Amino acid sequence: MPTPGSSALTRVLRPFTRVHHGEGAVVLLLLALMFLLLASYYAMKTSREGLILGQGAFGFSGQQLKAYASGGMALSLLVVVPAYSALATRVRRLRLIEISYAVVIVSLVLFYVLAQLGVNIGLSFFIWIGLVNVFLVAQFWSYANDLYTEDQGRRLFAIIALGGSLGGVAGPRIAAVASTEGLLLVAAAMLVPCIAIFHLIERTHVADPQIGEAQHAPIESPGGFSLVWADRYLLLIATLVPMVPVMVAKVPTEDWRELIEMLTGGRLF
């Protein structure tokens, strides 16, 4: 049963989008989640740039490491995605979210401790945050998609996405108040309340008759890798992804310019 508070929230949100009776509370909770997630990410991203650019490794400058790290992200996904898929088929979705956020929070604290001990974390943190950005954002929208029907998604996703825009603005401003290493703890602190908000959404939304047991059950699907292996075009793209950053780092800019001019007949320059 919708509460009087949720009715008030519905009236507040109606000028921005068509919010039906009883939907306001969950919409605002999801908006808050998106805000915290993106604010935390941009704080991490600010720290990431400072760490990798200021810490070369293996004889490479920070700028060179950034190029190679993109290829490292692609290769890391070959391990992380199957592991995540295996976990997703064994635990309930809320439990999967709890584990995901706990791993991220603990990792941030661990990176902070290593940085304080003088360990060079620039490259590993750069690759790690690239994986986190893909997983947490995709996980959020997958969860939101499970909560709503197609019609509800069309009406409500725009205002939920506003939380991400606000988080993208707030994140860099928050980053200005802490040191490069300190931002790791700031980002972790912003992710902690996300777990509580997910639980609050579950309790708020459980009485909705449109929500079945399917969304709470473990994910049962062949997974993205099965789709890639079954499609030659996708497989070729997947093969090229880790190669491109290495090629960009190794081939001088002028050589790329000459190649593009040759392929396009000079129409781009």
Q: What's the pLDDT score for residue 207?
A: 43
Q: Can you tell me the distance from the alpha carbon of 182 to that of 186, in angstroms, rounded to the nearest whole number?
A: 7
Measure the CA–CA gap between 91 and 211, rounded to whole angstroms.
Answer: 19
Q: Is the pTM of this model over 0.85?
A: no
Name which residue leads in pLDDT, 154 or 104: 104
Please state the rounded mean pLDDT for residues 46-51: 73
What pLDDT is recorded for position 261?
60
End-to-end CA distance of the chain: 63
SS3 57: strand
Contacts of 218 (CB under 8 A, 6+ apart): 88, 89, 90, 91, 92, 93, 96
What CATH fold (topology level) applies to the domain 4-221? Growth Hormone; Chain: A; (1.20.1250)
Phi, psi dihedrals of residue 11, rounded to the nearest 5°: -65, -35
What does the pLDDT read at residue 8?
A: 63
pLDDT of residue 222: 53
21 band by pLDDT with thresholds 50, 70 and 90: low
Output the pLDDT for position 245: 55
Q: Which residue has the higher pLDDT, 25 or 139?
A: 139
**pLDDT tens digit sequence for 109-165:** 999 999 888 888 878 888 888 888 888 888 898 888 888 888 887 888 888 888 989
Per domain, the residue ranges of the chain are 4-221
pLDDT band at 250 (very low <50, low <70, confident <90, very high): low
* Of 165 and 262, the one with more pLDDT: 165
What's the pLDDT at 123?
A: 80
Vertex 253: Cα angle to 248 and 258 (nearest 5): 110
> What is the rounded average pLDDT of the residues 56-79?
68
pLDDT of 97: 92
What is the rounded average pLDDT of the residues 187-196? Answer: 94
Residue 212 backbone phi and psi in degrees, to 5:
-100, -175
The Cα 10–Cα 14 span in angstroms is 6
SS3 state of residue 60: strand
Per-residue DSSP letter, 219: P
Residues 66-82: what's their mean pLDDT?
74
Q: What is the reported pLDDT for 12?
A: 61
Cα 26–Cα 30–Cα 34 angle in degrees, nearest 5:
170
**What pLDDT digit, counting tens, does each position of 201-238 carry?**
988 775 445 444 545 555 555 555 565 566 676 666 66
